[in-house]
Structure 1
Amino acid sequence: MTPSPHSLRFGPHFDVAVRTAAGAKAASQTENQDNYLLIDTSGMACFLADQVERRQQVQGWPPGHIRLAVLDGMGGHRRGREAAEAVVAGLLALPACDTLGELCSRLDSLHASLQQHFGADVQPGKRPGTTLTMLELRPGQAALLYHVGDSRLYQIAGGKAAPLTVDHVPATAFAMDGLLDEAAWWEQVHGEYRSQISQAFILGNAFANPAELRDPLYALSPLNLPFFLAHMADRRALELDPKALYVLATDGFWACPSPQHWVARWPALFEGAASAAALNARLFDEIGANPPPALHPDNMTAIVLRSLGNMHETALPRAVPMH
């Protein structure tokens, strides 16, 4: 569980830190199929390639723009790590996006092109896949969220950890069809853990027709989500609360029978930490030392984001260390 040693530039408005591990108490030879991408305000990128952290300068990156993403290559599937790496490579080549429409269009095109790359003739259920939960932070504007799969974005504020994304799992499909009410959905998705997924980047979706995995991605929105989930559309502008913390994480953090009790510990765990790096260290240290009962040793990746001031001011970026 070695944190990133690199200094990236996220100030003056944000403090960001990333950390990844093959899994809590996992064997040393376990493959880490997770990945992440951080592109800072100067265009310096940080990500994994062959499970080793790399840095790369993105040419033409607009000053002050930030991109953050976590990815979870589908565990147990052939080429899960390679799928996550391929999406990261695509994100590195993706220009900074100024509008939600542009971001969605470019990512949907990347999804389609990677399906071709991994074999148009491959049966959909045999294709690799990866989750993608991503924030595009534009200077002086609301963040842009793009979400596919069952990784999550959490907001930590007011003593509570609240998910801001909807898991793409069978329970969500049942809720969309009116077969689960609000209480049942929350219990099945946040009160239990099931290693099933209904949609992934590259893989395709089983939302349009549960009996068939289809090629395109299926965006969950107020048009198809039940009323109690309609505020958590997959693709939306998101006003970040300057008093809140945000965590983008893969599902290794809640791969246990009663995840809601563990996640409910996060606000107290984060209390008083002086930096995003310290926040992330606490998260990994706690799950290593005092894991929730019956935690499955899955890959774990987390990006912690905290505000350093007024996010709607325009100012020149300064260097912030990411330990």
Structure 2
Amino acid sequence: MTTSVTQYTIQAGTGQHIGDREEQQDRVALFTAPNAPGYVMAVLADGMGGMSGGALAASEVIRTAKLAFEQFSPQKGDIEALLTTIVHDADVVIKLTAISSDKKPHSTAVILVITPEKSAFWTHVGDSRLYRFAGQTFAERTIDHSYVEQLVQQGKLQPGEQYTHRLSSVLLNALGNNASKPQVTVRRYDGLKAEDSFLLCSDGLWHYFTEAELATVVAGYSPRQAAEILIHNTRERAAGTSADNCTLAIVKLAAPSPEAQN
């Protein structure tokens, strides 16, 4: 996907691999908004809940985001409210799906919206991540809604120890949890410029890379090429470890062509 605005050109792509699992339960998509020219959305969901249940939950996240973005207009709404609505609506739909089936569907979610006003907005639920890069420099990432990440924040685990902890898969915030509603926090970054980029990915991918490695690959290649490299390296590094599904979306900002500037 390539979309041009006056300030920059938005280049985006996605990638997936089933890993060593029997089913691909991750979902990812890129959308434009018919009533919001220049706006781009990336959404990724990592489903949980056994065979078919996780895939069903993740698909509902994508469907809910798509429908909401199609109806969005900057003249009638704001991005923070849009992202909050998507999370809550997806949570409700997943819970209703659990009632009407014998599945126990749950999902993570991470959603990014780029605007033509040089702003980026994002939210996440669970341990699917968003990374922001400035050129080849790592700038920030989302903090996982997981038990082990909470231990890191409390100083009870050293950074990095959470990846091998026996409770690393326990989430404190997820879609479809009947015990609670999802916590929604929307982050905003203003002043986007050419060479800024974003990576959305499931835990089946980020587990195998440092932040510096991700920044180098995303900055050095087109979204499609970067996706291929990261998936290839994930498979190599996960060899023999029953690797999870891995899924990603990359959104890069490039200088607009001379034709777009005129």
Deviation at 1:305, TM superposition (A): 1.4
* Unmatched tracts of structure 1, length 5 or more: 1-7, 44-59, 205-213, 220-233, 318-323
Partner residue of 1:15 out of 3, 11, 14: 11
Distance (whole Å) between structure 2 residues aligned to residue 160 and residue 169 of structure 1: 26
Mapping 1:34-45, distance limit 5 Å: 34-40=26-32, 43=33
Query: What letter corresponds to residue 253 of structure 2 in structure 1?
Result: S
Q: 1:185 to 1:121 in 2, by over 3 A?
A: farther
Deviation at 1:291, TM superposition (A): 1.3
Query: What letter corresponds to residue 16 of structure 1 in structure 2?
Result: A
SS at match of 2:237: coil
Deviation at 1:162, TM superposition (A): 5.2
Distance (whole Å) between structure 1 residues aligned to residue 232 and residue 52 of structure 2: 30
Deviation at 1:15, TM superposition (A): 0.7
Distance (whole Å) between structure 1 residues aligned to residue 37 and residue 89 of structure 2: 24
SS at match of 1:83: helix
Distance (whole Å) between structure 1 residues aligned to residue 100 and residue 180 of structure 2: 12
* Unmatched tracts of structure 2, length 5 or more: none
Deviation at 1:63, TM superposition (A): 1.7
Q: 1:296 to 1:167 in 2, by over 3 A?
A: farther
Residue matched to 1:168: 145
Q: Contact 2:125/2:174 (CA < 8 Å) preserved in 1?
A: yes
Distance (whole Å) between structure 2 residues aligned to residue 294 and residue 265 of structure 1: 22
In the superposition, the TM-score normalised over structure 1's length comes to: 0.65
Residue matched to 2:54: 80
Let me know the Cα RMSD of the aligned residues.
Answer: 3.3
Alignment length, in residue pairs?
249
Partner residue of 2:172 out of 198, 204, 213: 198
Q: Contact 1:100/1:235 (CA < 8 Å) preserved in 2?
A: no
SS at match of 2:205: helix
Deviation at 1:187, TM superposition (A): 2.9
Distance (whole Å) between structure 2 residues aligned to residue 77 and residue 188 of structure 1: 30
Partner residue of 2:82 out of 96, 103, 109: 103
Q: Does residue 297 of the first structure (1) align with residue 248 of the second (2)?
A: no
In the superposition, the TM-score normalised over structure 2's length comes to: 0.79
Percent pairwise identity? 21
Deviation at 1:266, TM superposition (A): 2.9
Distance (whole Å) between structure 2 residues aligned to residue 174 and residue 287 of structure 1: 26
Distance (whole Å) between structure 2 residues aligned to residue 21 and residue 78 of structure 1: 17
Q: 1:237 to 1:157 in 2, by over 3 A?
A: closer
Deviation at 1:11, TM superposition (A): 2.8
Q: 1:108 to 1:270 in 2, by over 3 A?
A: closer
Q: Contact 1:64/1:316 (CA < 8 Å) preserved in 2?
A: no
Partner residue of 1:237 out of 188, 204, 208: 188
Distance (whole Å) between structure 1 residues aligned to residue 119 and residue 255 of structure 2: 15
Q: Contact 1:170/1:196 (CA < 8 Å) preserved in 2?
A: yes
SS at match of 1:198: coil
SS at match of 1:19: strand
Query: What letter corresponds to residue 195 of structure 2 in structure 1?
Result: K
Q: Contact 1:97/1:136 (CA < 8 Å) preserved in 2?
A: no
More strand by share: 2
Deviation at 1:86, TM superposition (A): 1.3
